[in-house]
Amino acid sequence: MKKVGLVLLIMAVLAASAQDAYSQINRRNIKRSNRGIGNFRGNKTSFKRNVYNAVGLSLNAFNYYGDLSPSAKKLSTDLSFTRPAVGGSFVHRFGPRYQLVASFMFGGIKGSDSKSADPNDQDAAYRYVRNLSFRNRIQELSLVAQVDLFENTATYLSRAKWTPYVYAGVAVFHHNPQAQVPSTDLAGNTFANAGEWVDLQPLKTEGKDYKLVQAAIPFGIGARFKLTEVIDIAGEFGFRYTFTDYLDDVSGYYVDLRTLDGELAQAMSYRSNEVKAGASNKVDAIIANRYNGYQSELGFTTVAGFGHVNEDENQTKNLRGTSAKDLYMVTSVRVTYIINRNYHRAKFR
């Protein structure tokens, strides 16, 4: 009987020891959980847990700034020519304020002298008589760094409800300016493909070649908003500074039309012959002053300062365009979805 009592006593002691050990382990677990909860609430030292990726879709608007803008000002654009674009992106968050965004966008830009230039303005009247137009489809691949104004702390779950940001980076894009074929060539002969959109770069309308793949510097501002635990929406406004002046196929001086290859190239280079009188007194005065130097050789006359050999480069009215680089503006609304997140909140029962 004494042995049975001793065994029971030993078992009781072991049970009490086990219970005490379990309690100590449980207390340590609780402390560890409390520390985790503290970190979740914003311990900035644990942001390494908030490194995550996201994918996004965007709806965009493109606006063109260049030689066929309404005025000669650098930041002049015709908002009626705003064109839509779509895009996809991959986002990598790597710090409390920083993320990299790789994006692809496809959209278009457009310009027209006859629709944008004011025929009653003395300077714009020459652009109106120039009468050039174009469209261009752009495919852009970019990589930009975004810097948030407000920090995103701890995990992706406790990221800022909203934050403004700035961005800048690099981009490469493919473009291909086009214009519609006029009804007739400069001698009055009908084009069989009148109204068709044709590529301008192969025609060398200014006697020069240029690359269709170009680089650009994207930069701008934006604001991002947290919609759900895994979905953000952002609005962006920015520019693409390009290293080409041929988004619109217009850059320098008119060339001798006799040096261009064929009637189509001549007709796409010089389109002032399509302008009719009556738009304004200033326009009428310009088109009334014709240059007859080509009459015997090509069978047509040209407006003075448009379409003939430029003998004096200081006469700005003889310019077909300027040497300033073209820009395009991008306005975006982007929705992103966070993927491969590595933090899960505890489930309480």
Task: Give residue-wise pLDDT tens across range 117-160.
Answer: 999 998 889 899 999 999 999 999 999 999 999 988 767 787 88
- Given pLDDT bands bounded at 50, 70 and 90, which one contains residue 286? confident
Residue 142, in any domain of the structure: yes
| Rounded alpha-carbon distances, angstroms, from residue 310 to 60, 132, 222, 255 | 41, 18, 45, 7
Residue 254, token pair as written in the block: 């008119």
Q: Is residue 195 part of a domain?
A: no
18 φ, ψ (degrees, to nearest 5): -65, -40
> Which token pair is 108?
């278009």
Nearest to 199 by CA among 257, 261, 243, 137: 137
What is the structure's pLDDT at 294?
54
Q: What is the pLDDT of residue 273?
A: 87
| Angstrom distance (rounded) from CA 305 to CA 319 | 8
Q: Is residue 35 part of a domain?
A: no
Answer yes or no: are the C-beta atoms of 78 and 114 closer than 8 Å. Answer: no
In a domain, 347, yes or no: no
What is the average pLDDT across 164-178? 98
Q: What is the pLDDT of residue 32?
A: 54
Number of domains in the chain: 1
In a domain, 274, yes or no: yes
Domain of 157 in residue numbering reads as 46-176+205-259+269-339
Contact 215, 172 (CB under 8 A): yes
The pLDDT assigned to 158 comes to 78
Please state the rounded mean pLDDT for residues 57-85.
Answer: 93
- pLDDT tens sequence across 241-266: 999 999 999 998 888 888 889 999 99
Per-residue burial over 306-337, b = 16 or more CB atoms within 10 Å of its CB, e = otherwise: bbbebeeeeeeebbbbeeebbbbbbbbebbbe
- Inside any domain, residue 34: no
Which CATH number goes with the domain that contains 57?
A: 2.40.160.20
User: Is residue 245, in this structure, part of any structural domain at all?
Assistant: yes
Q: Per residue in 197-250, pLDDT tens?
A: 999 999 999 999 999 999 999 999 999 999 998 999 999 999 999 999 999 999
Mean pLDDT calculated for residue range 285-296 = 68
242 within domain boundaries: yes
